[in-house]
Amino acid sequence: MAVDVQSFEPTPEEFDQGPPRFWTASYAGSPPALRFVSSPEGSTAQLAGDGRTTVVFDGVLYDRDELIGKLPGLDKASSDARIALAAWTQRGVEGLRHLRGSFAMAAHDTESGELTLARDPLGTHPLFYARTDSGLFLSPSTNALVLEPAVSPRVNRALVADTFCQRWPVPDETYYLDVKRVPSGHLVRVRGGSLQARRYWDPAPPGEPVRWADDEEVDRFDELLDRAVDRCLGLGPAGIYLSGGLDSISVAAVATERTSLHGMDPPLALSLSFPEPESNEEQIQRAVASKLGLPQVMFSIEDVAGRDGLLRAVLDLGSQRGAPIIGCWLPGYRRLGLQARSMGCETILSGAGGDEWLGISFYLAADLLRTFDLPGLVRFGRIVRRSFNSTRISFLHSLLWRFGLRAILQEKWKRTLWATAPGIAARRRRRRILETIPPWVPGDPALREQLVGRGEEAVSNLEWERSGSFYLQQGRMSLDHAVVSMELEELFENGRHLGVRMTQPYWDPDLVDLLYRVSPDVLTRGGRAKGLVRDTLARRFPGLGLERQKKVIATRYFTSVMLGQGRAVWGQMGGPQALVELGVVNPKLVAEAADRMFSSGTARAANRIWNILNLEAWLRPRI
C-alpha cells in the first residue's frame, strides 16, 4: 500500500532544531579515572568494570549469543558493555577486531594507567575527544564536547578554508579546532602526555599483496548480505530509505525476504520524489515497493521543504549540527524519518556504502592503460557507457584523459622531477596547490600559507600509493578519507535527532571485508557496473527487472535549487559575514565571484554556492 503526501507544511515542533542530549565522559583526576560527566535519560551509553579495567560503551553489538559463548564469565543477561569489557580484557586488540556492531568505546586500565579509545571497524558510530589542561573529554557529539567548560569551542578555520579547496587532509580533525575524531577502525592509546592512533581492522593492509577473493568467497556474497540485513532488522521494526538505485533496492528486497522468513512485519518504504524529470525516480520506487509488497510513504522534496524553500530549510537544520551538512536533501529524509517513527519504526536502513563497495573506480582506466591492456580498457569503457548517463564527449574525456592518461603522466612527471630536480618539484607542487585555492579564499594571508602547508602534506601522503595501483588507492580512500567519516557521522546524528537508529548493511565489516577484495572483473559481472548486486537481484528477485538500470544523479535539480534559491538566501543573509569575520574569504572578491556563479548556471557554480552558504550557516551561531 502507499501512504502519499502531496503537500506538507511542517510545524515548528516537527522541525525543532534543539539537538538531542549526548553523553560526555572524562578521563581526569589524580590518579586519572574514567567516568561519565553527563549521561542523559535515554542514553545508550553504559559503564562496566572488573576492578582493574573500566569500559564506557555506547552503541549496539550484533551476534551477542555467539560472543557470549566464546567469552568466559558471561551470560544472556550480560550488557553490551560487559561483553565489550570481556572481549578487551581477555583478548585485547584481537577481541576488539572480532566485535561486530555499531559502537564506540573507551577502556581504562588502572594498573598501566593506559586509556584506549576505539570505534567500530567502519566507523558507523562516532567518537570524538578533546584534550584539555584538566583532562580528556569524550563524546559521540562534537557539539556536546564544546559545551564542556574546559573544552574550547574555537572553529577550525583551516579546515573551513580547505573545504573550499575540496581538501580534507587530516583524517582525525573536525570543524572544532580542539576536538578530534577517533578514525574508523582505529584505536587511540593515551598514556601520560602521549597519544598514538593505529588501525586495528583492515581488509587489505597497505604494503601487503591484496588477497583477491576466490570464487568460493564470492559465492558467499548473498549469505553475507543476508546476515548484514538481519543484523539491522534485529534492532526493531524497520523502515528503509528507498530510492530508485540498485543499492537501496537490493537492501529493500533482501529485507523483505528476511522479514517474511522470520515472521516479522515488512519494512516501510520511505521515498522522495523530485520535480525534475531526469532526477525523479518515483515510477521505479513505486514499482519496486509494489512488487515487494511494501507499505510506502512518498513525499515530494519540495513539499516537505516548507514555504521558505529547500535551501533555507536545510541551512536552518544544518546550523545546529555538529558539522556542516553534507546531504542537501536532509529536510526530505528528516520528514520521512519522522513519519517512520510515528508509524512505529525503530530503525531505518539505507543503501549507503553501495557506491563505495559495489562499484568500481574510474581510475581503473589508468591501471589498464599503464599495463597496455587495451582490450580491457575497451571492455571497461563499454561497462561505464552502459551504467552511467553521460554524453559521448564527456565519457571519452573522463575515460581516456581525466582518469587515464593524465593520472599516469602526472605520476611519472612527479617522480622524475622529484628524483632529478627536487627544488623545481617543490616549487611546482606549491604552485599547483595555490591554483586549487579559489582567488576569494582566504581573506587572511597567514591562512593562505597554512593552506599551502596542509596541501603539501596531503599530496605527500599519497605519493607512495601512486607506485602501486590507482584503483586500489581509491579503495583506501573509502576506508580512510575524512569525508567518508563525516558522512557516517551525519547519518548517526540524523538518527539521534529523529529518535531512530540509522543502519547501513553495506557498511557491515564482514561484507566489506569481502567486497574490498572482489576483483573489478567480478564487480562488473554481466558487463555493467555493480554487476555483482545486479546478478543477485536478477537471480533472487527476477520480477524487479533492474538488469539494465543506470545510476540517476539529481545534478540538474541541485543546480536549479542552489542558483535559483541561493541568490535570495544570499541576500537575506547579507552575504558570508561569518566567513569574512573568520578571515576565510575576502568580502569584495567573494561577492564578485558570487555574482558570476549565480549567472553561470553551471553545476560547478552551484556546488560553490552550496559550500559557501552551508559553511556560513553553520558558522554563524559559533562566531
Q: Return the domain boundaries, the chain.
A: 33-199, 215-357+507-544, 555-622
Q: Is the fold of 33-199 the same as that of 215-357+507-544?
A: no
If we measure between CA atoms, which residue out of 285, 220, 258 comes closest to residue 552? Answer: 285
Mean pLDDT of the chain: 90
* Exposure on the CB side of residue 579, measured as CA atoms within 13 A: 31
Domain 215-357+507-544 has CATH 3.40.50.620: yes
Q: Residue 203: what pLDDT?
A: 92
Q: Residue 462: what pLDDT?
A: 54
3-state secondary structure of 44: coil
Grid cell of 467 as nine digits = 607506485
Q: Residue 554: what pLDDT?
A: 82
Distances (CA, A) of 301 to 275, 394, 601: 8, 29, 21
Task: Show the DSSP H helices in 321-467 as ranges.
Answer: 330-342, 354-358, 364-370, 374-387, 392-396, 406-420, 422-436, 445-466
If we measure between CA atoms, which residue out of 267, 335, 269, 325 comes closest to residue 301? Answer: 335
If we measure between CA atoms, which residue out of 276, 395, 275, 314 comes closest to residue 609? Answer: 314
Distances (CA, A) of 603 to 1, 217, 561, 566: 37, 41, 11, 13
pLDDT tens for each residue of 124-151? 999 999 999 999 999 999 999 999 999 9
Q: Residue 548: what pLDDT?
A: 66
pLDDT tens for each residue of 92-127? 999 999 999 999 999 999 999 999 999 999 999 999
Contact 546, 537 (CB under 8 A): yes
Three-state SS letters, 118-149: EECCCCCCCCEEEEECCEEEEECCHHHHHCCC
Distance (Å, whole) CA 69 – CA 72:
7
Q: Residue 10: what pLDDT?
A: 44
3-state secondary structure of 234: coil
Q: Residue 471: what pLDDT?
A: 85
3-state secondary structure of 574: coil
Contact 441, 164 (CB under 8 A): yes
- Would you identify the CATH topology of the domain 33-199? Glutamine Phosphoribosylpyrophosphate, subunit 1, domain 1 (3.60.20)
pLDDT above 90 covers a percentage of the chain that reads 70
Q: Residue 461: what pLDDT?
A: 57
> pTM of the full predicted structure?
0.93
Q: Residue 210: what pLDDT?
A: 81
Q: Which residues contact 341 (CB under 8 A, 6 or more apart)?
A: 498, 499, 500
If we measure between CA atoms, which residue out of 424, 444, 443, 427 comes closest to residue 435? Answer: 427
CB atoms within 10 A of CB 149: 7
Q: Residue 15: what pLDDT?
A: 44
Q: Residue 467: what pLDDT?
A: 46
In 318-339, which positions are buried (b, 16+ CB within 10 angstroms) versus exposed (e)?
Answer: bbbbbbbbeebbbbbbbbbbbb
Q: What is the CA radius of gyration of the chain?
A: 24
Show the low-confidence residues of the chain (pLDDT under 50).
Answer: 1-10, 12-13, 15-18, 463-467
